[in-house]
Amino acid sequence: MPTAAPRRRLINDPGFVRLWAAETISHLGSNFSALAMPIVAIQLLNAGPMEIAVINLANTLPFLVIGLLVGALIDRLPRRGVLIVADLGRAVLLLTLPIAYALGILSIPQLVIVGILLGTLTVFFDVAYQAYLPSLIPKENLVEGNSKLEFSRSAAGLLGPSLAGALIALVKAPLAVVIDAMSYLISALFLFSIKPHHESVAEQNDSAAPRRLTPRGSLRSDIVAGLRFVFSHPALRTIGGATATSNLFGSMAGTVTLLFAYNELGLSVAFIGFAATLGSAGGLISAVLADKISKRLGVGRTIVLTIPWTGPLVAVLAFCQPGNDALNALVIGGGFFATAVSGTLYNINQVSLRQALTPPEMAGRMNATMRWFVWGTLPIGSLIGGFLGTGLGLRETLLIAGIGGTFAFVPLLFGPVWGIKEMPTGVAEK
């Protein structure tokens, strides 16, 4: 432990700090468009539950369709380069929305197409980012590193929705998307400033791995190797099952929550932004405490104990009634707050554990396989949410999603995760 002390101060690690800055700026902009794009569809294009479901599906479908292929490619490509290209591409795509609005041709089909392309670039970015982080910091610092990144995500979520709500009220939602586009450009500049000497020796060696792997096997064999690694590993397999279950029901709820708040409860965009801000505050607090909590409870117990919270808190939202905007915003915001606390603690620890258990040459395929597994349920949940919201009702859909999400912890009972106390420092231990 004493020999690793200098590396434990991640704030002094130039490579990590640049990645941290890029992620912080990008997340701040993303929180603008996360609120702005659905509001564009609802306010300007009169979107209903199925339209919102299709827009949500467009953003997440690429994880299901191309996720495994991307993982094999990421292990053959320079990961920082992938991050930069993905950021620049997303900036260009987002700028097409305010341009189309200014020309009077903005439509739901355009939102869907932009969503699919954004989702595709996000697959590349997310897989490359999670594979790239372990190259900048030691494995024993992964919880701290992911905590700092999650802190920025939550801080951006704390400011983003409130600023977006105010900005959308003053101007138009499509113009708020411009801020997200600019954030991707700035993020790309920070990523470009990361130099090879900022990376660990393991990553510099691994950067040659794509050239060694390419003649050895096909993309298909690489994809199969990634699938085999994840689904034969008890910890990764059960984490994937739990996360996929949580995402399925969370996506169902996410499809109807804004419609429920805006149409049935009559909340204004400003109140919706306030509720989202309360939720982000929960993520901010838990990101600060994540490292201490995981050390006190143990990594595995933190994972198992935090995932069940989200379901009951989503179900509570179904009981809100119109007529008291302030109270409804507080109830919804309180549910978001507690959900963010549990979700942040869960994600920081499960992502860190996955990274610690995976050798560098398998990192891209592991992340892609997990993303395919756990994010592949998002478009399914969106469609189910759209159908149920249209045929059964928004309130009933929230209740079903909340009940289902409560049991997301069950897959974790069939693996070794509960017994993992500290972050493993070996390679791919089973």
Q: Which domains does the chain have, with CATH numbers?
A: 10-200+219-419 (1.20.1250.20)
Would you state the structure tokens that stand for residue 167, as one six-digit string? 């900005």
List of the chain residues with pLDDT < 70: 1-9, 29-35, 153-174, 196-217, 269, 273, 276-277, 279-280, 425-430
Instruction: To the nearest 10°, report the CA torsion of 152, 31, 371, 364.
Output: -50
pLDDT attached to residue 212: 42
| Prediction pTM value | 0.69
What is the pLDDT at residue 166?
A: 66
Residue pair 128/75 in contact (Cβ under 8 Å)? The answer is no
- Coil, strand or helix: which one is 233? coil
Helix (H, G, I), strand (E, B) or coil at 172: coil
| Cα distance between residue 21 and residue 166, in whole Å | 25
C-alpha 153/C-alpha 348 separation (Å) is: 11
Per-residue pLDDT at 189:
93
pLDDT value for 33: 66
pLDDT at 241: 95
Q: Please state, in angstroms and as integers, the Cα–Cα distance from residue 74 to each residue in 59, 71, 141, 207, following that order.
A: 20, 5, 23, 11
Q: Quick one: how far is CA 7 from the chain centroid? A: 27
Query: What tokens appear for 266 in the block?
Result: 């009559």
φ/ψ of residue 194, rounded to 5: -75, 125
**Chain length of the chain:** 430
* Listed residue (94, 112, 99, 95) closest to 47, CA to CA: 112
Amino acid at 275: A
HSE-up of 338 (CA within 13 Å, CB side)? 15
Q: How far apart are CA 47 and CA 53, in angstroms?
A: 10
Q: Could you tell me how far CA 241 lies from the centroid of its own chain? A: 17
For 214, what's the count of Cα atoms within 13 Å in the CB-facing half-sphere? 9
| Residue 97, amino acid | L
C-alpha 79/C-alpha 368 separation (Å) is: 13
